[in-house]
């Protein structure tokens, strides 16, 4: 039987490499991934702004008009355009990945990945139309 002697001294000589903070800067695939992760900052910021907007409704017509005025500043319009782009990028890349997570079988037949992605897109578009209709008709 082989016994590994003095294992602790072997362990202590191991060299551990550190991951540099900018590890993601070297390859396009990593940049794309980090970009997808960073979109969450814009989505979260948008959600916070939206919550304050809703709060202004509860504070009366004047507060609501004041907040609406602030939102129409070029800076905030620019932010919202950027947040929309970030949200679309996140959503599209997410729906494209959906078939990886959802493997659905009907009987012995697997539903093709493309169909699963398309069903997700269809659901997304349908919910968006319903929300849009509710807002525009209220």
Partner 1 sequence: MTDSIKLEVSRYRPEQESEPVFQSYEVPLRKDWVILDALNYIKDYVDGTLSFRWSCRMGVCGSCGMMVNGTPVLTCATFLEKFAPGPIRVEPLANFPVSRDLIIEMSDFMNKLKSVKPWIIRKEEKPVEEGEYLQTPSQLDDYKQYSMCINCMLCYSACPVYGLEPAFTGPAAIALAQRYNLDNRDKGQSQRMEALSTDEGIWQCTFVGECSAVCPKSVDPAGAIQRYKVAATEDWWKSVLMPWGKGK
> Which chain residues interact with partner 1 by CB under 8 A?
10-11, 13-17, 19, 23-24, 26-27, 29-30, 33, 37, 97, 100-103, 105, 108
Looking at the Cβ atoms of 67 and 86, the one nearer to partner 1 is: 86
**Nearest distance, CB of residue 24 and partner 1, angstroms:** 7
CA distance 65 to 112: 50
Looking at the Cβ atoms of 64 and 94, the one nearer to partner 1 is: 94
Looking at the Cβ atoms of 30 and 66, the one nearer to partner 1 is: 30
**Nearest distance, CB of residue 15 and partner 1, angstroms:** 4
CA distance 72 to 91: 26
3-state SS assignment for residue 84 = helix
CA distance 53 to 56: 5
Looking at the Cβ atoms of 6 and 105, the one nearer to partner 1 is: 105
**Nearest distance, CB of residue 17 and partner 1, angstroms:** 7
CA distance 38 to 89: 11
**Nearest distance, CB of residue 118 and partner 1, angstroms:** 18
DSSP state of 137: T
> Which H or E run includes 89?
helix 74-101
């Amino acid at each position: 039987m082989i016994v590994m002697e003095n294992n602790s001294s072997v362990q202590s000589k191991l060299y551990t490499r550190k991951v540099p903070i900018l590890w993601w800067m070297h390859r396009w695939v990593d940049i794309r991934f980090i970009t997808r992760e960073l979109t969450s900052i814009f989505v979260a910021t948008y959600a916070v702004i939206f919550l304050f907007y809703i709060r202004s409704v509860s504070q009366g017509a004047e507060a609501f008009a004041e907040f609406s005025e602030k939102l129409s500043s070029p800076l905030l319009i620019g932010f919202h355009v950027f947040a929309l782009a970030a949200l679309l990028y996140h959503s599209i890349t997410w729906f494209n990945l959906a078939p990886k997570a959802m493997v659905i079988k009907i009987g012995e037949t697997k539903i093709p990945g493309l169909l699963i992605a398309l069903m997700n897109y269809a659901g997304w578009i349908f919910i968006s139309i319903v929300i849009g209709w509710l807002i525009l008709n209220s």
